[in-house]
Amino acid sequence: MDLLGWLIFLFALLFSVMAHEAGHFLTAKKFGMRATRFFVGMGPTLWSTRLGETEYGVKAFPIGGFVKIVGMTSMEEVDPADEPRAFRRFPGWQRVIVLAAGSAVHFILAFLLIFCLALGIGIENNNTTQLGTVSGCVPASVSALNSGAACPPGAAKSPAGLAGLRVGDTVTSFDGTAVSNYTQLTTAIKNVKAGTTVPITVLRDGRSVTLHATLASVPGRSGGFLGIAGSTVFQAVGPVRAVTYAGSGFWQVLDGSGKALAQLPAAIPDLFSKNRASTPAGNVSSIVGAANATGQAVAAPVGWQDKVSFVLLLIASLNIFVGAFNLFPLLPLDGGHIALVVWERIRSRIARWRRRPDPGLVDYMKFIPISFSIFSIVVVIGVILILADIVNPVSIG
């Protein structure tokens, strides 16, 4: 099941990359630009065919893809016969649309995934007192609790397990206080000191059952520990509610991605620490980490709705992050090329106002050192994240 999760993620990643390239390709063709190649993967060519002026094909390594549009920069040598259809000869607004189309496709894919999730499966409601998990033991530390680490041999059995609580029980009262949502229940548990025995009333198979549990303590964590987690209930919604949910989810992921990216410099020192999950380093991950999380979700002992929901939201989040990151005004990202096109048009407008000749295309040669430096930094950070996700992975619990 872990392997299946990895395959699902890798297929989704490859599809997203090719959809990104298709955005560039289709808009370029729409404006009449000359696009000569569209390939899936990288490396040696396994298969290709030519349709019209474009060669379509598959490369040996399924790790990306590319589209070749003639004359993308001022440095590229172009056949004089193709120069009128070169990318650099088209109006600035058309070039910006072609460059931004890749990120736009990522955003559209993410929105549709969240929309279909809400419409087809439903919206998650985690605020229920129905138990979805009963822990098998008392965690040895806060880090073990947060990471969902497996119970080591000889670990003390959890209070919930000793009391006889079961998955599917709905807690109606804790320590004599009625509870109607999971927030109330967790607050009540934390307010009880470890070592205290409390009555817990649950609804089981239509009957009210009262059990007794003696709360334990987790080193480094205040309050008592019971060893339960709520279940997820999916509520079906209509198209209008699905649209608003998708819009809200989109902005939440975008905001979260921005915060995670801002935390990245401070998170790097904790990437290889034992308590990574409880530090900002637990919020940043590489493609390996995302694939590993998908594998864990698919293999988890939960319902198919939870699995599909997690995987779709993860893939949507990946598309939102990649789409937004790609618009940063830094070369070699699409956003860097957009910034140069915009600067080129501003410079042209200023020259026109001053009744001077149009300065023409931006000299990309001047930006190669900047582009190389940024690319090197991105590669180094990416390698560090991959290594951390291999040797010190974060469990989704």
Residue with tokens 């469990």: 395
Residue 352's Cβ-count burial label (10 Å; 0-12, 13-18, 19+) is exposed
**Spatial CA neighbour of 21 closest among 49, 73, 56, 46:** 56
Considering the domain boundaries, does residue 191 fall inside one?
A: yes
Q: Which of 288, 397, 271, 231 is nearest to 5 (CA)?
A: 288
Q: What's the CA gap between 118 and 120, in Å, rounded?
A: 6
* Distance of alpha carbon 131 from alpha carbon 209, whole angstroms: 14
Q: Are 32 and 43 in contact (CB under 8 A)?
A: no
3-state helix, strand, coil in the chain (%, to 5): 50, 20, 30
Q: Rounded CA gap, 160 and 224, in Å?
A: 12
Structural domain contains residue 96: no
pLDDT at 274 over 90: no
In a domain, 62, yes or no: no
Domain membership of residue 205 (yes or no) is yes
pLDDT given at position 256: 86
Q: What percent of the chain has pLDDT over 70?
A: 97
pLDDT in tens, 16-38: 999 999 999 999 999 999 999 99
What's the confidence (pLDDT) of residue 170? 92
Band (pLDDT 50/70/90 cuts) for residue 134 is confident
> What number of CA atoms fall less than 13 Å from residue 385's CA on the CB side?
20
CA angle (51 as vertex; 49, 55 as ends), nearest 5: 50
- The answer to whether 60 touches 48, Cβ cutoff 8 Å, is no
The predicted structure's pLDDT at residue 69? 94
pLDDT tier at 366 (50, 70, 90 boundaries)? confident
Is residue 393 predicted with pLDDT exceeding 90? no
Q: Which two tokens stand for residue 109?
A: 């894919």
* For residue 214, pLDDT beyond 90: yes
Please check whether residue 295 is in contact with residue 9, taking contact to mean a CB–CB distance below 8 angstroms.
Answer: yes
The sign of the dihedral angle between the CA atoms of 68, 70, 75, 78 is positive
* Burial grade of 337 (CB within 10 A; 0-12, 13-18, 19 or more): buried
Lowest-pLDDT choice from 66-75, 144-153, 272-281: 144-153
Active site residue 21: yes
The answer to whether residue 220 sits within a structural domain is yes
137-151, 203-217, 279-293: the lowest-pLDDT one:
137-151
216 found inside a domain: yes
Q: Mean pLDDT for the chain?
A: 88
Tell me whether residue 302 is in a domain: no
In this prediction, residue 62 carries a pLDDT of 78
Give tens-digit pLDDT for 67-115. Answer: 999 998 888 888 999 999 999 999 999 999 999 999 999 999 999 999 9
Q: Do residues 352 and 360 touch, judged by C-beta distance below 8 A?
A: no
User: pLDDT digit string (tens) for 282-314?
Assistant: 878 888 888 888 888 888 766 788 888 889 999
CA–CA dist 319, 108 (Å, integer): 9
Residue 291: enclosing H or E segment and its boundaries? Answer: helix 287-299
190 occurs within a structural domain: yes
Average pLDDT estimate for 133-157: 79
pLDDT of residue 374: 85
Element (H, E) at 184: helix 182-190
CATH number at residue 142: 2.30.42.10
Domain membership of residue 191 as a residue range: 131-231
Number of domains within the chain? 1
pLDDT at 150 over 90: no
User: Of 218, 233, 238, 226, which is closest to residue 202 (Cα–Cα)?
Assistant: 226
| Tokens 């390996």 sit on residue | 288
* CA nearest to 279, candidates 160, 124, 143, 184: 143
